[in-house]
Amino acid sequence: MDLSVIIVSYNTRSLTLQAINSVVKAKQPKNKLELILVDNNSSDNIISLVKKKFPQVKVIANSKNLGFAKANNQGLRKAKGRYLLLLNSDVIVAKDTLIKMVDYMDNNQQVGLSTCRVELTNGKIDPASHRGFPTPWASFTFYSGLEKLFPNSKIFAQYHQGWKDLTKVHQIDSPVGAFYFLRRQALQQVGFLDESFFMYGEDLDLAYRFKKANWQVIYNPITKITHLKSSSGLNKKQGDKLNSKDKQQRIITTKHFFKAMKIFYKKHYFKKYFLLYFLILLTINFFQLIKIIKIKLS
């Protein structure tokens, strides 16, 4: 089997059905694919709907929300494909996406992890899909707004690597977990997603381990997908009015986001940036506090 596509769902019924439908309707790899849905105890009846509409989908139904990393690992352990695609439930793949990515990986054996052009609904690239690692300098320039002022600078735009040509294939540090195309051999070498990341950060962490093991991580705009970015409370449009439930959800996801940053720094950067480590933690806590205050006041 060429490809295993793994989708994790959590109360995103319409998005999940749309994502599955796009995979089913896409051109299939020569040696077929399998589609695995891992549901984190959704309350939206997604399991029965998928079984009815898409009986070919293999379903793993969890009795509680295990988090994104752990749920994806469940799918990865069940998967049989030569390649493994972690696909968000809020993604629509193009007709040629799957076969083009399989073909590219077949012809580039040094690539352990790749992504295609991940577009938002406005046609612009999702910046999270084209990242450098969050070193102290890259993080500072991003959160201070310097990257926004100098988006094409190698000095001030290291986090989203805005100086690189998005029309050409090139190496990046990490794609986004929404479309995460893995070579089985490489994954077996570096290990599964780190389950200490509940949500956010697990994609950066795995990409970091891939590069440390000398596998290439590639951005390849030969094809594209659309990232609706609708499943997280963090992604509501600026200016939208939030009710109390929305605010609470955004606060929870914000805490997970900044907790993931702390885990990543402790795991990979503690020794390298030892003298800055506690200052970095204070800075992360500061930005988390500012973000939460903004949510409460919105």
What pLDDT, in 10s, does the model give residues 45-68?
999 999 999 999 999 999 999 999
Closest by CA to 33, choosing from 75, 5, 8, is 5
* Residues 276, 222 within the same domain: no
What pLDDT, in 10s, does the model give residues 268-286?
998 888 888 888 889 899 9
The two most distant CA atoms of the chain are separated, in Å, by: 57
* Residues 12, 59 within the same domain: yes
* Residues 27, 120 within the same domain: yes
The Cβ of residue 107 has, within 10 Å, a number of other Cβ atoms equal to: 8
* Residues 283, 170 within the same domain: no
* Residues 243, 123 within the same domain: no
Does residue 147 form part of some domain? no
- Assess whether pLDDT exceeds 90 at residue 166: yes
The per-residue pLDDT for 264 is 93
* Residues 31, 78 within the same domain: yes
Give, in degrees to the nearest 5, the angle at Cα 203 between 17 and 166: 85
* Residues 220, 177 within the same domain: yes
For residues 23 and 7, what is the distance between their CA atoms, to the nearest angstrom? 11
Does residue 92 form part of some domain? yes
Half-sphere exposure of 155 (CA within 13 A, CB side): 3
Does residue 174 form part of some domain? yes
- Assess whether pLDDT exceeds 80 at residue 236: no
* Residues 183, 285 within the same domain: no
Closest by CA to 67, choosing from 237, 253, 224, 235, is 253
Domain that holds residue 265: 234-297
Number of domains in the chain: 2
Give, in degrees to the nearest 5, the angle at Cα 254 between 61 and 132: 95
- 241-270 per-residue burial string, b: 16 or more CB within 10 A, e: under 16: ebeeeebebbbebbebbbbbbebbbeebbe
* Residues 170, 247 within the same domain: no
* Residues 125, 215 within the same domain: yes
Judge contact between 81 and 2, C-beta under 8 A: yes
The per-residue pLDDT for 144 is 87
What pLDDT, in 10s, does the model give residues 120-136?
999 999 999 999 999 99
Question: Band of the pLDDT at 230, cuts 50, 70, 90?
Answer: low
- Assess whether pLDDT exceeds 60 at residue 233: no
For residues 276 and 280, what is the distance between their CA atoms, to the nearest angstrom? 6
Percent of the chain with pLDDT over 90: 82
The per-residue pLDDT for 272 is 86
Give, in degrees to the nearest 5, the angle at Cα 293 between 288 and 294: 100
* Residues 183, 243 within the same domain: no
Percent of the chain with pLDDT over 70: 96
Between residues 245 and 112, which one has the greater pLDDT? 112
- Assess whether pLDDT exceeds 90 at residue 244: no
